[in-house]
Structure 1
């Protein structure tokens, strides 16, 4: 059975795409399951979702992902719950630790020990959502009320009555420890660069987290952001994805601290990943993109004619993936819908 399929619009570059409102309406009208947004160091993740909430009535509205260093956990929780009210309970809160370049360079937040930070952050968010008692948290990274300061801080409870105390929280994760953390403390895992061939690897990481939790929660969801290009020419389709893969594999983070690069190394593409990174960091972006083999593109994406895409989609069936999110805002939404829905 084909899993539910949404759209992961990513984040805006330069400006808002022309006809964006019409595109959002078409995404819902065509039957897509949800609309997800991301953020890096430009457009934020919540404002486009609020805009989309006003234009739609059915689709889920997800952050994929909201950056943990960008906001205090209480601010994230109150933003998500406000949007949940405005959208009629359609929000999925995806969280991610980002990376050291953005966390420290853009937000001025120290990056070390991201898993411990994430664990504590989720705990505070859940306390705000539960609204069972005033917020009181004495952690390593967050002290609420703050220790020191004026001494006038006091435990507070959200003045907004939360629409859904069990508003789903997902973690964006790539490494095995982070995937296991999602299984242990969250309601889902949002994956990218997911290869069906390595399903056993992902399944093992998830099971490790579920074991620490005492079992898999009934509504745990694995969402996979998936590049899709419909084109009768497979190489031409791959060419539309290669530059993004080169960016993530070679240009994100720094040499030795690029978590996306590490994904492809674990998948057995260490030599390709090293070559792409070398070229990209030398400024040879076109050569870096050209160095990404079509076979690697096909491992983590759906490309080619409609019939081939439908056949290849079957590889995701039977994996840990529960739903898909097409990467980007395809101009040919109707054709993508025909291929996947």
Structure 2
């Protein structure tokens, strides 16, 4: 089992301890550090900033939102950072949700699977640098032609030769068709709410992708880098309670009321009644009550909280469920060292 550090995206202000966390993670043998983006900080700049102080740890976006950049722009950012880091980049991509895509980026959300397939194909063309990059669309036509264009566009190759022509791409995916797509065209899957209890269901989704003609990977060389709240504590109840306000936001406040991908994940886990109650309360402005309606069992499904023996047992369970990397939310240097020792 590998370990990853999840720095996430910034809140109202930049974090002050990320440099210490990244250094501690590399010293403790962590395999990768990941950053994210929503509608504030971006995913690439922090990796470049902290990556310059490291030498071996891989640098991943988890995730870079596809609507934030044209596929060629994402390919350029990845190519550049891969050069600067000596070949340590992981490009994690995700479609985000309709509220962000249409409300923040001014793009359209429908057909996310088709857009993802087309987007990744263009990114890989840039890195391969075998031919000028072209795409028949319909989502990202290159060269862009037709009404409103000059007609002067032409297919081009990247000026810069990539350090690696096949940088790993991982997909942030939650639904069955998106997970299957990750298995078909990507090098890894980045689940945000993973539970070993549903391992057979995940396996069926992944196997659907692996079985498709031309699939890039087999199960044996495909990475599953699952983000998890892992906390060593003797007070499970208090720790689980502290996680509930954030979960209430994901279950009840993310996306639209009738189109919340995170809520769907927990419905598949069997928590439909809780999700409905939390959503109703949260959207009525009763956020504290919404958090109180979340049972410990729901939190525990996708978190690992307890004494060292329980942590070790659960890490084994996650590994048996197919997870190849536990991506931990770093709270302190001491915590990172403690968790690295437990996994070892």
In the alignment, is residue 335 of structure 1 matched against residue 333 of structure 2?
no
Q: Which residue of 1 aligns with 2:249?
A: 247
Q: 3-state SS of the aligned residue for 1:143?
A: coil
For residues 55-204 of structure 1, what are the structure 2 equivalents within 5 Å? 55-148=53-146, 149-204=149-204
Aligned length: 339
Q: 3-state SS of the aligned residue for 2:117?
A: helix
Deviation (angstroms), 1:129: 1.0
Alpha-carbon distance change, 4 to 172 in structure 1, aligned in 2, over 3 angstroms:
same
* Offset from partner CA, 1:54-94 (integer Å, 9 cap, x none): 01111111111100100000000010010000001010101
Q: 3-state SS of the aligned residue for 1:317?
A: helix
Give structure 2 stretches of 5+ with no counterpart.
Answer: none
Q: Which residue of 1 aligns with 2:260?
A: 258
- The answer to which of 220-229 and 83-92 deviates more is 220-229
Alpha-carbon distance change, 115 to 329 in structure 1, aligned in 2, over 3 angstroms:
farther
Deviation (angstroms), 1:340: 3.2
Q: Distance in 1 between matches of 2:175 and 2:162?
A: 32
In the alignment, is residue 224 of structure 1 matched against residue 226 of structure 2?
yes
Deviation (angstroms), 1:45: 0.3
Q: Distance in 1 between matches of 2:305 and 2:253?
A: 23
CA RMSD of aligned residues (A): 1.4
Give structure 1 stretches of 5+ with no counterpart.
Answer: none
Q: Which aligned runs of 4 or more in structure 1 are off by greater than 2 angstroms?
A: 213-219, 327-341
Q: Which residue of 2 aligns with 1:314?
A: 316
Q: Which residue of 2 aligns with 1:205?
A: 205
* Offset from partner CA, 1:85-104 (integer Å, 9 cap, x none): 00010101011000000000
Deviation (angstroms), 1:334: 2.7
Q: Which residue of 2 aligns with 1:302?
A: 304
Q: Distance in 1 between matches of 2:43 and 2:265?
A: 24
Q: Is 1:264–1:270's contact at 8 Å kept on the other side of the alignment?
A: yes
Q: Is 1:9–1:329's contact at 8 Å kept on the other side of the alignment?
A: no
Q: 3-state SS of the aligned residue for 1:109?
A: coil
* Offset from partner CA, 1:117-144 (integer Å, 9 cap, x none): 1111011111111110111111111111
Give the counterpart of 2:26 among 25, 28, 31. 28
Q: Distance in 1 between matches of 2:189 and 2:172?
A: 6
Q: Distance in 1 between matches of 2:226 and 2:17?
A: 26
* Offset from partner CA, 1:159-187 (integer Å, 9 cap, x none): 11111111011110000000001111111
Q: Is 2:174–2:265's contact at 8 Å kept on the other side of the alignment?
A: yes
Q: Which residue of 2 aligns with 1:40?
A: 38
- The answer to which of 119-128 and 222-231 deviates more is 222-231
Q: Is 2:34–2:60's contact at 8 Å kept on the other side of the alignment?
A: yes
TM-score, normalised on structure 2? 0.95
